[in-house]
Amino acid sequence: MKSQSVRELYRGQDSFIDSEVFVKGWIRTLRNSKSFGFIELNDGTFFKNIQIVFDEELGNFEKISKLSISSAIEVKGKLVATPGAKQPFEIKATDIAVAAESEGDFPLQKKRHSLEYLRTIAHLRPRSNTFSAVFRVRSLAAYAIHKFFQERDFIYVHTPVITGSDAEGAGEMFRVTTMDPINPPMADGKLDYSKDFFGKETNLTVSGQLEGETFAMAFKNIYTFGPTFRAENSNTTRHAAEFWMIEPEIAFADLEDDMELAEDMLKYIISYVLENAPEEMEFFNSFVDKGLLDRLNNIVSSDFERITYTKAVEILKEAKAEFEFPVEWGCDLQTEHERYLTEEVYKKPVFVTDYPKEIKAFYMKLNDDNKTVAAMDLLVPGIGEIIGGSQREVNLELLKERMKESGLDEKEYWWYLDLRKYGGADHAGFGLGFERAIMYLTGISNIRDVIPFPRTVKSAEF
Amino acid sequence: MKSQSVRELYRGQDSFIDSEVFVKGWIRTLRNSKSFGFIELNDGTFFKNIQIVFDEELGNFEKISKLSISSAIEVKGKLVATPGAKQPFEIKATDIAVAAESEGDFPLQKKRHSLEYLRTIAHLRPRSNTFSAVFRVRSLAAYAIHKFFQERDFIYVHTPVITGSDAEGAGEMFRVTTMDPINPPMADGKLDYSKDFFGKETNLTVSGQLEGETFAMAFKNIYTFGPTFRAENSNTTRHAAEFWMIEPEIAFADLEDDMELAEDMLKYIISYVLENAPEEMEFFNSFVDKGLLDRLNNIVSSDFERITYTKAVEILKEAKAEFEFPVEWGCDLQTEHERYLTEEVYKKPVFVTDYPKEIKAFYMKLNDDNKTVAAMDLLVPGIGEIIGGSQREVNLELLKERMKESGLDEKEYWWYLDLRKYGGADHAGFGLGFERAIMYLTGISNIRDVIPFPRTVKSAEF
């Protein structure tokens, strides 16, 4: 007999009511009296449980009554409507088979657990409401991103995880090696990297952008979506050592095109998740972050504001708000400033553009004023910066100069410079931290709770 | 004026003929006489070039005539049909603007280059026909995989790249570290990993399967799609140190379900690519591998064969073919054996199941005969094994025994064993090496040519 998923029953309920159905899942709760009982069954395909009613007509009534939470069972019975009840229908079981029992000490009992505790059982936490919702949204958001770019004929590029390039100036890196850690090969008092696996020093990538640009110069529109790494000793709720990043790159394009793409993408992801995970989003809105749906709907329906950094600094200097960090032209904006702009001033997402070159990366296009670069940060209510991007410097001489100022060795980047020699059309791109986006979509405030098995300072469990 | 992509023009040509169009792209070839010239323009959105005709009516005719290959230009003009010509239409240019010139020594001149040479300019090779086709197919195949699983409500899981688990027995690993490589922290004559970034020894993952299983026990149907690593010193055309893998895992499922899923998935990917990259596939079939389309169409329309390992060994022992490696029950099948079975005997894809437990991994379900495990390998004409999978051992005691036999420390895998304690329903899964699949789809015979920036022994360029 073919089985149905709980998702099928909920989404296509009218066609199943009063039919025989067959479901397979795990017991979330079980309560029973002497002659009958109720099971809340979850099969992982749907946020909500389905209620199973069983009674002593079952040959194995006693056995079923004693099953522990998280036991796997297979249930045959009739799906009946339950007008007036909390759930729309339930299954009157005619047969329940035990697929796999659970031991009695299952660590996820019905009571509410702290998120900290659940992190210690990351292998089981997807069986809770919160994490079932988080990781379904994560999966849907990932797909929405692919769908968005593929529908626009962007090419998905797998940029390398192991990189032989120097640090790109974007942060501390993890070394990747197969050398003997105690007696590494030495030559002239230095490590002899020629003996390492790749014959040179290699690290985990901090960004796929530079490699992505090489593909944009061939395919026009490309995106990356892969893991990136930071070996930074920062134990915060917003930093992980391993996280995924989306980095589109578009050719024959300027900063305006870049912002348009970022705006379209963000709205697309949010809309897709709202449409495809309504139960999960309702749950987050009720139990995690009461303002969530309003905030997300506001983003989808807003035209994002665009202001220059110079204008932003003016506004902040005139603001009546008390900031911890003072604002002067030339300083980097802090989260408090970003949130003030997007939450208090504009009450919607804001692109801030044209930052001082000193606080931005070497590859950003120098503006005609010689002081600012064609960069943009997208600020959203609730968190501040969620996307950062720029038009790229395509002038070979200016680029070399900026690399020198940034202490980068141009010999290491010969291939990146080549892009400027051979038809280096204007191009632009941005980066979206995937986990940051999931936190924003769910209202979850700790990055450890949106990654299946998070890697942070002093923690790489499972 | 809004520009069109070359893809739009080819796919929607009827609506553009005799209209003014605006395209932006890179010069692939340029030839001219004193008063007119032809440009083959490629904008990266489409495999084929579009021909631009220009003449001395252009104010900058002289300048355009002298442009180097790979210069970026923006062309306005009328799209006119060219009945009888090789290409269906061309653009009669009324205006050509230079977006970015290319220097004269562009390394990809029109002549045919060896694949070996092109690997040394991996940052430019996507501008060639072959690599434009390879990387578009790679992008489409990746999307097809997501689409296949998402349409079936599978949850996409990002399993960790950095792993704190022991080697899982699947191969040599890369160490990930931030310790001082020359003077690492020591304690009692040993490396003091407690001082390393994660407070323990960490490596790059060789498989996301075990973590994937934890999610299958919550969501029922899941898949991973991420980078995996092997630090094996094997310099072959089929091995890379960094590659992507797809690992679905399905619960309440046995080996039959697993094979059905693998068959459906493979057919889906192939069909999607054939449908969405017809020009590229035609190119591969003409210039890379003449039998390609026949072979792929054969796969899509075949019902895959299913035989046991024991049967396969019988067939091979009776075969008249000369094998380099002799076959006996208990040995691992070599590529020559696999290809004989799928190419000579069945002439279509073949699942071989129920291998001797000694030659398979510890997590595979022991069959009742106590000698074989519920494993499957999918063999396809042209290469042999393309997918390997199994039903998983869910019996806690048997699993522990198999771990002991394999020299694994069960304390390291407490979380994996937990899955068997708490409702460990039957489940199964498989792994598909993404690059292996791309080689199969394109006919490209070296793995270095299907990865944007390949990482192999002694090579991590770009």
Residues B432-441, mean pLDDT to the nearest whole number: 97
Q: Give every CB contact of residue B81 below 8 A, 6+ residues apart in sequence.
A: B17, B18, B88, B89
CATH number of the domain that B55 lies in? 2.40.50.140
A60-97 pLDDT, tens digit per residue, is 999 999 999 999 999 999 999 999 999 999 999 999 99
Q: How confident is the model at residue A166 (pLDDT cuts 50, 70, 90)?
A: low
So what's the pLDDT on residue B103?
A: 96
Distance CA B221, CA A337 (A): 43
Distance CA A198, CA A200 (A): 5
DSSP summary character for residue B359: G
Task: Output the CA torsion sign for B74, B80, B81, B86.
Answer: negative
Q: Is the pLDDT confidence value at B167 over 60?
A: no
Q: How confident is the model at residue A336 (pLDDT cuts 50, 70, 90)?
A: very high
So what's the pLDDT on residue B173?
A: 93
A358-379 pLDDT, tens digit per residue, is 999 999 999 999 999 999 999 9
Residue B461 in domain: no
Mean pLDDT of chain B: 95
Residue B458 in domain: no
So what's the pLDDT on residue B138?
A: 98
B239 and B149 assigned to the same domain? yes
> Which of the listed residues B49, B84, B100 is the one where a domain comes to its end?
B100
Element (H, E) at B121: none
Contact A124 B153 (CB under 8 A): no
Q: Is the pLDDT confidence value at A226 over 70?
A: yes
B313-346 pLDDT, tens digit per residue, is 999 999 998 999 999 999 999 999 999 999 999 9
Contact B174 A162 (CB under 8 A): yes
Residue numbers in A near B232 (CB within 8 A): none
- Looking at residue A287, its amino acid is F
* pTM of the shown model: 0.97
A139 and A66 assigned to the same domain? no
So what's the pLDDT on residue B169?
A: 56
So what's the pLDDT on residue A354?
A: 98
So what's the pLDDT on residue A168?
A: 53
Q: How confident is the model at residue A292 (pLDDT cuts 50, 70, 90)?
A: very high
Residue B183 in domain: no
Residue A180 CA to its chain's centroid (Å): 36
pLDDT above 90 as % of chain B: 92
Element (H, E) at B387: strand B384-391
B252-293 pLDDT, tens digit per residue, is 999 999 999 999 999 999 999 999 999 999 999 999 999 999
So what's the pLDDT on residue A111?
A: 76
CB B366 within 8 A of CB B422: no
Residue B372 in domain: yes
Residue A365 in domain: yes
B29 and B154 assigned to the same domain? no
CB A174 within 8 A of CB B197: yes
Shortest CA gap A445–chain B (Å): 19
Residue A423 in domain: yes
Residues B187-216, mean pLDDT to the nearest whole number: 95
Residue A44 CA to its chain's centroid (Å): 20
A165 inside 8 A of chain B by CB: yes
B53 and B140 assigned to the same domain? no
pLDDT above 90 as % of chain A: 92
Structure tokens at B99: 């977006």
Q: How confident is the model at residue A112 (pLDDT cuts 50, 70, 90)?
A: confident
From the list A161, A421, A425, the residue facing B227 with the nearest CB is A161
Residues A294-298, mean pLDDT to the nearest whole number: 96
3-state SS class at B240: coil
A114-137 pLDDT, tens digit per residue, is 999 999 999 999 999 999 999 999
What is the tally of structural domains in chain B?
2
Contact B197 A25 (CB under 8 A): no
Q: How confident is the model at residue B434 (pLDDT cuts 50, 70, 90)?
A: very high
3-state SS class at B81: strand
A139-161 pLDDT, tens digit per residue, is 999 999 999 999 999 999 999 99
CATH number of the domain that A235 lies in? 3.30.930.10
- Residue located via tokens 């801030």: A352
B224-252 pLDDT, tens digit per residue, is 999 999 999 988 999 999 999 999 999 99
B224 and B338 assigned to the same domain? yes
Residues B37-50, mean pLDDT to the nearest whole number: 98
One-letter-per-residue 3-state SS of A101-134: CECCCCCCCCCCCCHHHHHCCCCCHHHCHHHHHH
From the list B146, B158, B242, the residue facing A143 with the nearest CB is B146
Residue B12: is it exposed, middle or buried by C-beta count within 10 angstroms (0-12/13-18/19+)?
exposed
Residue numbers in B near A145 (CB within 8 A): none
B138 and B42 assigned to the same domain? no
Which range has the worst mean pLDDT, A234-238, B77-81, B139-143, B217-221? A234-238
Residue numbers in B near A242 (CB within 8 A): 160-162
Contact A219 B99 (CB under 8 A): no
Distance CA B215, CA A453 (A): 11
Judged by CB atoms within 8 Å, which residues 407-446 of A form the interface with B?
415-416, 418-419, 421-426
So what's the pLDDT on residue B109?
A: 81
> Which of the listed residues B100, B118, B144 is the one where a domain comes to its end?
B100
From the list B153, B155, B242, the residue facing A162 with the nearest CB is B242
A243 inside 8 A of chain B by CB: no
B94 and B154 assigned to the same domain? no
Give the range of the structural domain holding residue A354, as residue numbers without chain letter. 127-171+206-449
A91 and A134 assigned to the same domain? no
Closest CA to B385 of B365, B367, B360, B358: B360
3-state SS class at B53: strand
Structure tokens at A75: 């249930």
B246 and B284 assigned to the same domain? yes
Judged by CB atoms within 8 Å, which residues 89-148 of A form the interface with B?
99-103, 106, 121-124, 126-127, 131-132, 135-136, 138-140, 142-143, 146
A139 and A16 assigned to the same domain? no
Say if the ipTM goes beyond 0.95: yes
Residue B188 in domain: no
Contact B219 A176 (CB under 8 A): no
One-letter-per-residue 3-state SS of chain A: CCCCCHHHHHHCHHHHCCCEEEEEEEEEEEEECCCEEEEEEECCCCCCCEEEEEECCCCCHHHHHCCCCCCEEEEEEEEEECCCCCCCEEEEEEEEEEEECECCCCCCCCCCCCHHHHHCCCCCHHHCHHHHHHHHHHHHHHHHHHHHHHHCCCEEECCCCEECCCCCCCCCCCEEECCCCCCCCEECCEECHHHCCCCCCEEECCCCHHHHHHHHHHHCEEEEEEEEECCCCCCCCCCCCEEEEEEEEEECCCHHHHHHHHHHHHHHHHHHHHHHCHHHHHHHHHHCCCCHHHHHHHHHHCCCEEEEHHHHHHHHHHCCCCCCCCCCCCCCCCHHHHHHHHHHHCCCCEEEEEEEHHHCCCCECECCCCCEEEEEEEEECCCEEEEEEEEECCCHHHHHHHHHHCCCCHHHHHHHHHHHHECCCCEEEEEEEHHHHHHHHHCCCCHHHCCCCCCECCECCC
- Residue located via tokens 């952008």: A209
A134 and A35 assigned to the same domain? no
Which range has the worst mean pLDDT, A39-43, A242-246, A407-411, B373-377? A407-411
Q: Is the pLDDT confidence value at B170 over 80?
A: no
Which range has the worst mean pLDDT, A92-101, A343-352, B231-240, B435-444? B231-240
DSSP letters, B206-224, are: S-SHHHHHHHHHHHSEEEE
Residue A191 in domain: no
Q: How confident is the model at residue A14 (pLDDT cuts 50, 70, 90)?
A: confident
B218 and B309 assigned to the same domain? yes
So what's the pLDDT on residue A169?
A: 55
Give the nearest chain B residue to A153 (CA atoms). B45
Contact B158 A7 (CB under 8 A): no
Distance CA B138, CA B438 (A): 6
DSSP summary character for residue B7: H
So what's the pLDDT on residue A164?
A: 87
